Structure 1
Amino acid sequence: MKILVMVKRVSDPNVTIRVNADNSDVDLNNVKMALNPFCEIAVEEAVRLKEAGIASEIIALSIGSSQSQEQLRTALAIGADRALLIESDTALEPLIVAKLAAKVIEEEQPGLVLLGKQSIDTDNSQTGQMLASITGWSQGTFASKLEINGDKINITREVDSGLQTICLNMPAVVTCDLRLNEPRYASLPNIMKAKRKPLVTKAAEEYGVDLAPRIRTLKVETPNIRQGGEILSSVAELVEKLKTEKGVI
């Protein structure tokens, strides 16, 4: 069984993000970039499935700028067998990404598609669900545990009330949550081997998908700075402050 893993290039989660002076977008100049943490979890899960003898090949897919090759090489160093970059000079919204991924699925015919539950830059959490809808495949979102038995896959999902376990028919699209696994560090030998693994680049226009954006960003603002908290000695004091100072009671 082939596994297709989608990965995304995002700003490093440890750096401070700034907004452009004209509030048009986030300023990514000279910002360290990295593999989206949830995508890294998806790659790790695919590698574990291959190590267990369930998967025969892992294909890493990224849709973005030419610089995304760096993140694909990271996925290859973790354990993916080959990579495909669909190159676009502009950032593409989730629906277009899902349509392009569906075209790749038609070509590669994987039995399972793994994605991070969301990317940490836009936090849309939409691509996996849209991809499942376009392909007509089963979908399991926010997976914290994954077990494959023949042509069935059991997914444990993290929901507001606790954990939910569902059984899906294969092929399926699964989005990976934080507690699914702990990604390994790529060893130096594997990083060197990754440089020799195949990485194919194609233009987004080759797939015959309408790339015109449907979403327009009006303004980007820095969040308000939080005020310092205050520790109170009793519930009565809290109620009094809510009445007299905040006027919410």
Structure 2
Amino acid sequence: FAIFVGIESPDTDSLVLMQKKQNTRRSLQQSIETIHKAGIFVNAGFIVGFDSEKGSVAQGMIDCIEDTSIPVCMVGLLYALPTTQLTRRLLAEGRLFSGSEQTQSGDQCTAGLNFETRRPRRDVLDDYRTVLKAIYDPVAYFGRVRRLGRMLKRERTHKMVKGDLRSFVRLLFRINRAGPGTAGQFWRMLLDCALHNPKALPYVVMTSALYLHLGPFSRQVIKEIDQEIGNVDSGRWQAPPSLQPVQPLQPIEA
């Protein structure tokens, strides 16, 4: 009943740069709403740090996430993975940091931007923390869950299986310790769904359970990004040496 959608960015120039033109040919809000109305829950991916970003992208990304009512958004910093077109381009431009070619996977949350960014690195990091702080605030998160609960059209109610009730009781116990204001927003959302679309109740409960991880994790990431911003401001962060592009071998003249 769920699907992951790589929205990546609400910025058209960024989508064209990454060759995701299909995301520019239709309204993102209407497309996501259509999926929700088909009874399918959407998770989405967003990335900060593209070369095409001409200024702050934080508010545009926050607005996109709110307008589409997608509760679970995997927002990360751009990371150049080995053997990709992005890595080859950055290497040719002399912007890829040394050591990146040995990395097989990237922690896009706290170890992204393994290259020299077009925008000031601090600005990219600040945009990233701004987005995370906004979308995983309890009011914003459960507001999106509440709107999702009204849109999600399920033909049949969820069939209870062994352990569902125990998991729900555990959620009720833990939601009170998930941070200030979280429990109140949860109960407001749950009541709204029960009144307007009770068939969606099991799915908004599942989405609420995800916040037990996403809320604290987002705050941990923000804390680490704040430390990196502090290092940039104080001059403690120094860019690693960039890899030099490999020059093609020249034929030996006879």
Fold-level similarity (TM above 0.5): no
Interval of TM-score (by shorter of Structure 1 and Structure 2): under 0.3
Question: Scaled by the length of structure 1, what TM-score is found?
Answer: 0.24
Question: Scaled by the length of structure 2, what TM-score is found?
Answer: 0.24
The structure with more strand, counted as a fraction of residues: 1
The structure with more helix, counted as a fraction of residues: 2
